[in-house]
Chain A
Amino acid sequence: MALSSVSQTAFLLALLSLRTYQSEVLSEPLPSAPEFLKVSVNSTCQCLHLQWTVHNLSHHQEFRMVFQIEISRIKTSNVIWVENYTTTVKWNQVLHWSWESKLPLECAKHFIRMRSAVDTAKTPGPRVWSSWSSWEEADVQNSLGQDPLFVFPKDKLVEEGSNVTICYVSKSHQNNISCYLEGVRMQGEQLDPNVSVFNLNHVAFIRETGTNIYCKPGQGDRIKGTVLFVSKVLKEPKDFSCETQDLTTLNCTWDPGSDTGLLKQLSQSYALFESFSGKKTLCKHKSWCLWQVAPESQDMYNFTLTAENYLRKRSVHLLFNLTHRVHPMAPFNVLFKNVSATNATMTWKVHSIGKYHTLLCQVELYGEGKVTQHNVSVKVDGAHLFSGLEPDMEYMAQVRCANGDHFWKWSEWTQQNFTTAEAAPSEAPDVWRNVKTVQGRCVVTLFWKPLSKLQAHGKILFYNIVVDYLDRTSVSELLSIPAPANGTELPLSQCSSQIRIMANNSVGTSPASVIVVSREPGNEEVEEERVKGTEDGFPLSWKPQPRHVTGYLVEWCEHPQDPPCDLQWKNLGPNVTSTVVSSDAFRPGVRYNFRIYGISTERVPYLLARKTGYSQELAPSDNPQVVMTNLTSHSFTLSWKNYSTESQPSFIQGYHIYLKSKAGWCHSGSEKAVLSDDAAVCCKYKIDNPEQKTFVVENLQPESFYEFLVTPYTSVGEGPHDAFAKVTTPDEYSPTLIRIILPMVFCILLIMITCYLKSQWMKEKCYPDIPDPYKSSVLSLIKSKENPHLTIMNIKDCVPDSIEVLNKQEGTRKSLTETESTKPTYLYLLPTEKRYSSPGPCICFENFTYNQAASDSASCGHVPAPPKAPPSQLGLLTSPENLLKALEKNYMNSLGEIPAGETSLNYVSQLASPMSGDKSNLPINPPEPALCSEYKMQMAIPLGLASPPSSGSSSLSSVTLLDEGEHYH
């Protein structure tokens, strides 16, 4: 009861006090309009900043008030913004409020006014507003300066995709101002006569150094501009995650996205806040941050990652249990122990994550081309045994760990390699042989393939070869061939033998590979079959053998054209009767020969089949070298016996013989063919047998030109149509003619040789140098036939002529010779070289050619040459023509030197009468040669000077033209 009364009393007192307070408030006078309203402009953020006070507040009063703010642009009636600003007002408090203008504040005047009211939100009813304050003006244009043009805003920073308003203020009242954004003209609207605005919507990021915006008037050279900095939009950090490696430090990471850093804005910063502990840290890096785990056991963490730049702030949250975010460090100290040929133990250590946590480790083993995986639980040290390993094999093992209680992430791998120990080779080497007989002894060439790494179990050091002779008469032989040999040649004492080959490494010996050499030669008579190769190889098949075989073997040479041929073989099971032999070494156009052997139970191989074929046949690249023989007027024979059909790039099926002739028609046995190379028409003969390597071309025309070509043909085409050989058939009668002409030629030659050998005799007989008239039969022949009275003149019967040289003494000029020539001089003309010492019979004449000195000579053969004439000129004078020339020359000389009439050379002819001629020219004292005939005096002159005499002195002499006959008569 008492308690109830006390409660009622307290309630009444409280109600009373509330009423009292209300009455007090309501009784207070309402606050007046805001006073001391001041407006300032911040151009950097394009903000109007207002500050004001409220009067009529008592010292302890505190009201929640609403201030209604009106902003007008250009003129007060143009209200562009109305906002109610609610705040708690204290006595004498200066209130602040800012407004960011979309339009640069420099572009227009702004007017601000406000009124206030008590915030009556808790009590219903309309507000009672105070009166408006007076309009305050914000006009920045007045403080711009004297420049004629301004562009605003300056260096504004906006986000990509936002809308921006640009304006220019012109003080020069120019209307033709154009503005550009990165060179592209912007379309604006005029705000007033001096101001135009440009609204840029969804501005794009262009470059970090900002976007140039500029305006230029139509006249003048002033360009004004501003730089707009467009920032990329700050995005929320992605993939925010925290984890620990050691439960002491948390590493939080995230994807920061694109950098929003600009000249006017730093890159975004990141801060990490943990709500349970209330701690905050500023991250130094853009994509990760470290957080120190509290020493006290705080399991749960609630992180807020905040990205912030000048324009925006973004946050992401993350709540987690610390033990569920353990990312262990990579294991370390990985070692291998007890490594044998097939087993190895791997050990490793892990970084502890507390004694209450177990790690799950994953072990992987790489080797033999495969991967095996094992899981191991680990507290501190881990170990795992690898078994079933291959000997002498390199393995790579790796291990990683994760929290075994609450899996979060695996650690990084830690790797280590190891190699198992060697063991004896597990397989016998694959062996084949080639048996030949040299000088009656069997020589076996053994070939074997190196063991694979999996078979060798270590490095093969040598091969042991044991030869056991089957007839037991010889002792076994043991050879050791060092590796890496893959074959050897063994001369055997006896052919029948069993050979065992074993490979050895450092640990042991492989099983033996047994091969038996039989005394009997193989079945070499097996017919060879052709096989056609495919892209996959050569498909080979054979008949199954009735007798028991342990397997089959196919043998071939990979390089049949190049010795050694690189013998290859392939072992096949006893139930296999076909196989495909393939090799990268197979080449098109190469013939491969395959031999298929059956291996008996006694390990004796015997030949079952022989196959030959091409992996791909190619057309022959060469034609045979053809020899032509037996050429007649109607046929010839072609032969190409050296042409090997085995070494061709395809199976030769036969030959084509092409024959070109001018006739253009073909005989039976041939057909017309047109060659594709030169479209020439020719006759084609066909030989179907590749071993027939001769051909007789018949039915040819004599003396005709033919061209022929022999080319092989195969299933893939024929040889090249290159150079045709040329032949011309001989004349049909030429052999007969040759039989006649050859003996004739022989006879003529014989005669000519004889004549040559007897030439001296012939000369003496027929044409001696000095014909002897007595010996000449020709003369006698003439004598007898023509003039039997002709006799040979005897030299003794000849009366020599004499030449009298007369010198007239009345001339004053005398030559040297004239002084001694007072008596006549006689020249003796001799018909030959022979001189006659006796001044007997002679022919003398006076010749104008000879000068005075010459006339002194007593002998005709010794006529002195004129002073200026060479000695040989004398010889020339013996010829009539030369003599005439000499006359011309000397005459010209003599005309100048010797006056006419002073000296004269007179012919004294034996035939002329002494009384004939001009008597005045007769010598005063004429000589008296006893037997000489008297010559008529003559004077020789050149033909050109032959004119009738006109002067008295010269008229005494008769002038006669010398001709050929006159010289020697």
Chain B
Amino acid sequence: MKVLAAGVVPLLLVLHWKHGAGSPLPITPVNATCATRHPCHSNLMNQIRNQLAQLNGSANALFILYYTAQGEPFPNNLDKLCGPNVTDFPPFHANGTEKTRLVELYRIIAYLGASLGNITRDQKVLNPNALSLHSKLNATADILRGLLSNVLCRLCNKYHVAHVDVAYGPDTSGKDVFQKKKLGCQLLGKYKQVIAVVAQAF
């Protein structure tokens, strides 16, 4: 909740402050220093596109691996247990400017990274023998980290955006086991759906 509050409050401020309410763009003063830790790659957008394509290519396999490992009723009730009903998932507008799309992508990656971390942690306990699932989750998280870094580089270098407010999904550590399985399934279903749109948009 603290995280949510930390992310939502500045966002609300931004929405009211910036001309054109509803735009999720953050405000970074033009003269603000925007320094990245490492020099950005010369062909950043290509890298971002490739990473998105890679994620899009593996999202369905990850989804299938996940719900199969959870056992019945998950594989046979995907619509009811794994539907993409993630209410707080960051939005994405494919027809926005590149800057807007990059900012939204940044939020999505941040959200997904945190959620995948929860899922990976839970599945290591709930399904310790599902090694291929663990491997796929780890691989996806690795790509997300790289993508996050590249998107930040692009935002910083080209648009001088040094900071983007992000929100994260619910923490599943206090949930019961069935609820953990279900939330994870829903998140991966949403991820599969969103990443296809995002990859297409870039």
Spell out A's residues near B (CB within 8 Å): 151, 154-155, 180, 182-183, 207-210, 212, 214, 216, 221-227, 263
- In the complex, are the beta carbons of A212 and B176 less than 8 A apart? no
B72–A183 touching, CB < 8 Å: yes
Of the residues A154, A183, A207, contact of B73 by C-beta under 8 Å: A183
Residues of chain A within 8 A of B74, CB atoms compared: 212
Flag if A225 contacts B83 (CB, 8 Å).
no
**Docked complex Cα distance between A225 and B80 (Å):** 12
Known: A214-B178, A263-B177. A182 touches B126 (CB 8 A): no
Contact yes or no, A154 B176, CB < 8 A: yes
Lowest 6 A-B CB distances belong to which pairs? A227-B177, A154-B176, A225-B178, A183-B72, A221-B80, A223-B80
Q: In the complex, which of the residues B81, B83, B128, B178 contacts A227, with contact meaning CB atoms closer than 8 Å? A: B178
Interface residues of B in 162-182 (CB under 8 A from A): 176-178, 181-182
**A222 to chain B: which residues have CB within 8 Å?**
80
> In the complex, A572 Cα to B194 Cα: how many Å?
97
Beta-carbon contact of A226 and B176 below 8 Å: yes
Tell me whether B125 and A212 are in contact (CB under 8 A): no
Complex alpha-carbon distance, A208 and B71, angstroms: 12
Which residues of B lie under 8 Å from residue A223 when comparing CB positions? Answer: 73, 77, 80-81, 182
Give the distance in Å from the alpha carbon of A183 to the alpha carbon of B75 in the complex: 11
Chain A residues within an 8 Å CB radius of B176:
154-155, 226-227
Say whether B178 contacts A212, CB under 8 Å.
yes
A154–B180 Cα distance when bound, in Å, is: 12
Beyond known contacts A223-B182, A227-B178: 17 more, CB 8 A cutoff: A154-B177, A182-B71, A209-B126, A212-B71, A212-B74, A212-B178, A216-B73, A221-B80, A222-B80, A223-B73, A223-B77, A223-B80, A226-B176, A227-B176, A227-B177, A263-B125, A263-B177
In B66-110, the 8 Å CB interface with A consists of 70-74, 76-77, 79-81, 83
A709 to B180, CA, bound (A): 92
Q: Chain B nearest CB: distance from A395 CB in Å?
A: 52
Query: In the complex, A227→B74 CA distance in Å?
Result: 13
- Shortest A286–chain B CB gap in Å is 18
Q: List 29 A-B contacts (CB under 8 A).
A: A151-B178, A154-B176, A154-B177, A154-B178, A155-B176, A155-B177, A180-B73, A183-B76, A207-B71, A209-B127, A209-B128, A209-B129, A212-B70, A212-B72, A212-B73, A212-B74, A212-B178, A214-B73, A214-B178, A216-B73, A216-B80, A221-B79, A221-B80, A223-B80, A223-B81, A225-B182, A226-B178, A227-B178, A263-B177
In this complex, the interface size class of chain B, counting residues with CB under 8 Å from chain A, is 20 to 34
Give me the interface of B with A, judged by CB distance under 8 Å. 70-74, 76-77, 79-81, 83, 125-129, 176-178, 181-182
- What's the nearest-Cβ distance from chain A to residue B18, in Å? 35
Contacts of B129 in A (CB 8 A): 208-209
Who on chain A is nearest to B79 by CB?
A221
Query: What residue of chain B has the Cβ atom nearest to residue A214's Cβ?
Result: B73
CA distance A224 to B73 in the complex (A): 10
Task: Report A140 CB to chain B, min CB distance, Å.
Answer: 15
Given contacts A225-B178, A263-B125, A263-B177, contact A216 B71 (CB under 8 A): no
Contacts of A221 in B (CB 8 A): 79-80, 83
Contact between B73 and A263, CB atoms less than 8 A apart: no
Q: Shortest Cβ distance from B73 into chain A, in angstroms?
A: 5
Chain B proximity of A27: nearest CB distance (Å): 56
Chain A proximity of B168: nearest CB distance (Å): 22
- CB pair A182 B72 closer than 8 Å: yes
A263 vs B177: C-alpha distance in the bound complex, in angstroms? 10
Please report the C-alpha to C-alpha distance between residue A216 and residue B77 in the assembled complex, in whole angstroms.
10
Chain A residues with CB under 8 Å of B128's CB are 208-209
Smallest CB separation, A310 vs chain B (Å): 16
A155 CA to B181 CA, complexed, in Å = 12
Nearest opposing residue in chain A for B175, CB measure? A154
Q: In the bound complex, what is the Cα–Cα distance between A183 and B128 (angstroms)? A: 23
Q: A155: which B residues are within 8 A, CB to CB?
A: 176-177
How far in angstroms is the closest Cβ of chain A from B120?
16
CB-based contact B73/A210 at 8 Å: no
Q: In whole Å, how far is B122's beta carbon from the nearest beta carbon of chain A?
A: 10
CB distance from B190 to the nearest CB of A (A): 15
Question: Across the interface, which residues of A come within 8 angstroms of B80, CB to CB?
Answer: 216, 221-223
Q: Is the CB of A209 within 8 A of B71?
A: yes
User: Which partner residue on chain A sits nearest B176 by CB separation?
Assistant: A154
Which listed residue (B70, B77, B126) contacts A263, Cβ 8 A? B126
Q: With the chains together, A668 CA to B137 CA distance in Å?
A: 99
**Cβ contacts under 8 Å, A214 to chain B:** 73, 178
Most buried by A among B80, B83, B125, B182: B80
**A214 to B179, alpha carbons, bound, how many Å?**
11
The residue in chain A whose Cβ has the minimal distance to the Cβ of B180 is A227
Chain A residues with CB below 8 A from B178, complex form: 151, 154, 212, 214, 224-227
A210 contact set on B, CB distance < 8 A: 126, 177
B159 to chain A, nearest CB (A): 41
Measured CB to CB, the nearest residue on chain A to B71 is A212
Specify which chain A residues have a CB less than 8 angstroms from the CB of B127 in the assembled complex: 209
CB-defined contacts of A151 to chain B, threshold 8 Å: 178
Q: What distance in Å separates the Cβ of B25 from its nearest Cβ neighbour in chain A? A: 35
Q: Which residue of B lies closest to A226 (CB)?
A: B178
Can you name the residue of chain A whose Cβ is closest to the Cβ of B74? Answer: A212
A263 to B124, CA, bound (A): 10
Bound CA span A174–B128, Å? 37
Provide the bound-state CA to CA distance between A226 and B178, in Å. Answer: 5
- The interface centre, meaning the residue of A182, A207, A223 with most chain B CB atoms within 10 A of its CB, is A223
Complex Cα–Cα for A208 and B129 (A): 10
| CB closest chain-A residue, reference B72 | A183
Contacts of A183 in B (CB 8 A): 72-73, 76
The interface residues of chain B lying within 8 Å CB-to-CB of A225 are: 73, 178, 182
Contacts of B182 in A (CB 8 A): 223, 225
Bound-state Cα–Cα, A224 to B79, Å? 13
Bound complex: CA A183 to CA B74 (Å): 10
- CB nearest neighbor in B for A154: B176
A224 and B178 alpha carbons, distance in the complex (Å): 8
Q: Given the complex of chains A and B, what is the CA–CA distance between A155 and B125 in angstroms?
A: 13
**Complex CA–CA separation, A209 to B180 (angstroms):** 13
Chain A contacts for B177, CB-based, 8 A = 154-155, 210, 226-227, 263
Q: Which A residues lie within 8 Å of B81 (CB)?
A: 223
B29 to chain A, nearest CB (A): 43
Residues of A within 8 A of B73 (CB): 180, 183, 212, 214, 216, 223, 225
What's the nearest-Cβ distance from chain B to residue A554, in Å?
A: 72
CA distance A902 to B126 in the complex (A): 134
Alpha-carbon distance A203/B71, docked complex (angstroms): 18
Cα separation A775 to B79 with both chains bound (whole Å): 131
CB distance from A198 to the nearest CB of B (A): 16
**Separation of A542 and B80 alpha carbons in the complex (Å):** 98
Q: How far is the CA of A223 from the CA of B81 in the complex (A)?
A: 6
Which residues in A have their C-beta under 8 angstroms from that of B79? Answer: 221
| Cβ of B108 to closest chain A Cβ, rounded Å | 25
